[in-house]
């Protein structure tokens, strides 16, 4: 009997086996191909998201109203938004790739290269025309696109706010001045005198230096108002006040204030009774020299002044107000003994 059928059957079996192996390889390749395609797809999707994210960040960076730029740690500017280019008044080619020292002030470069954590600093920038602008410069460490460390610098324009603050400070100073100045005579008011007197008393107490007070009063001022009217009386008060203040030109630490009505008071630190008396005589003479007509006066045809001087070296057991009271008593003596004169006393407690 022939063996051909058996050999054919064996060969067919081998072919089937080989076919199955080939199919298994194909399936394996297909699975690998599918996995590779899936991996490539995920990678492309991630790259696309990354590119979209970079585009979004670039759009945000470019659209930001505040000037912004990225500076590498070697001082080279690697990115600047449109607002920054406008702020520097330069085109992109003249900014990107250039050193910050070419375009920024020394202070700005120093802040950008400080390598600190996020910080904010007020800076002033003066343009070529001399105009000053104020900014808050915020610096934040970051890693640049090329992988090197750098700094994101952002500028917030606060020029208008600074101007408003300065205007507010001026207004506050003006209000403070109004609060301390007598509105009519434009010299110090009673409040200012009281504050200064307290301060100078303590200072004289510590230094054991003399402190003098001169209290003065326009003679027969009520009659002046009755004769010439209150408006002219106000003019008279202003003229007298300015003349008294002028006597302090060489007494830089002294003060003259309107004490009330037609009364004025001098505060003279480190001034002896003799020096204060001489000063009072100068003040009295200066008022006479004004030659302000006063027909209702019983002393002279012009406006005159009566003055009382008091001086002491403050001691811890003294009451400060007693010095003023003594000056008032001296003024009373000047009035009682004929007016238009100076009376001096030393207060000893």
Q: Cβ contacts of residue 292 below 8 Å, gap of 6+?
A: 236, 239, 240, 302, 303
| Helical spans, DSSP H, in the chain | 4-63, 82-88, 100-103, 106-112, 159-180, 190-207, 221-228, 230-246, 273-290, 320-336
Q: What span, in angstroms and rounded, lies between the C-alpha atoms of 73 and 57?
A: 22
Catalytic residue among 28, 31, 108, 262: 262
Q: Within a 10 A sphere around the Cβ of 265, how many other Cβ atoms?
A: 25
Q: Nearest to residue 153, comparing CAs of 125, 126, 124, 114?
A: 114
Cα 150 to chain centroid distance, Å, stands at: 32
The sheet with strand 255-260 has its strands ordered as 255-260, 263-269, 211-218, 305-312, 342-346
State the Cα–Cα distance between residues 181 and 8, nearest whole angstrom: 130
What SS3 state is found at 142?
Answer: strand
Contact status, residue 330 vs residue 345, Cβ threshold 8 Å: yes
Report the C-alpha gap between 304 and 102 in whole angstroms: 71
* Contact present, 125 and 133 (Cβ < 8 Å): yes
Give catalytic status of residue 56 as yes or no. Answer: no
* Phi–psi pair at 333, nearest 5 degrees: -65, -40
- Residues annotated as catalytic are 262
């Amino acid at each position: 009997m022939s063996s051909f059928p058996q050999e054919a059957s064996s060969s067919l079996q081998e072919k089937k086996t080989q076919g199955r192996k080939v199919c298994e390889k194909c399936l394996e390749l297909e699975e690998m191909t599918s996995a590779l395609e899936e991996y490539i797809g995920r990678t492309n999707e991630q790259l696309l998201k990354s590119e979209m994210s970079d585009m979004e960040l670039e759009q945000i960076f470019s659209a930001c109203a505040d000037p912004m730029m990225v500076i590498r740690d070697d001082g080279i500017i690697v990115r600047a938004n449109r607002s920054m280019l406008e702020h520097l008044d330069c085109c992109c080619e003249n900014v990107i790739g250039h050193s910050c020292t070419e375009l920024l002030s020394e202070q700005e470069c120093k802040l950008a290269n400080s390598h600190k954590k996020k910080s904010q600093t007020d800076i002033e920038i003066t343009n070529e025309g001399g105009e000053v602008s104020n900014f808050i410069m915020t610096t934040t460490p970051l890693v640049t696109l090329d992988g090197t460390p750098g700094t994101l610098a952002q500028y917030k324009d606060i020029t208008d706010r600074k101007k408003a603050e300065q205007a507010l400070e001026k207004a506050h100073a003006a209000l403070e001045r109004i609060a301390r100045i007598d509105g009519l005579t434009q010299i110090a008011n009673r409040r200012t005198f009281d504050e200064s007197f307290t301060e100078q008393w303590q200072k004289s107490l510590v230094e054991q230096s003399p402190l003098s007070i001169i209290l003065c009063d326009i003679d027969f001022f009520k009659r002046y108002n009755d004769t010439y009217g209150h408006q002219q009386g106000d003019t008279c008060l202003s003229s007298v006040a300015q003349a008294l203040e002028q006597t302090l030109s060489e007494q830089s630490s002294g003060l003259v204030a309107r004490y009330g009505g037609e009364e004025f008071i001098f505060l003279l630190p480190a001034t002896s009774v003799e020096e204060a008396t001489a000063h009072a005589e100068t003040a009295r003479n200066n008022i006479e020299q004004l030659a302000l007509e006063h027909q209702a006066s019983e002393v002279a045809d012009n406006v005159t002044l009566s003055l009382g001087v008091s001086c002491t070296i403050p001691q811890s057991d003294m009451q400060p107000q007693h010095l003023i009271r003594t000056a008032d008593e001296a003024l009373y003596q000047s009035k009682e003994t004929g007016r238009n004169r100076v009376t001096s006393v030393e207060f000893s407690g």
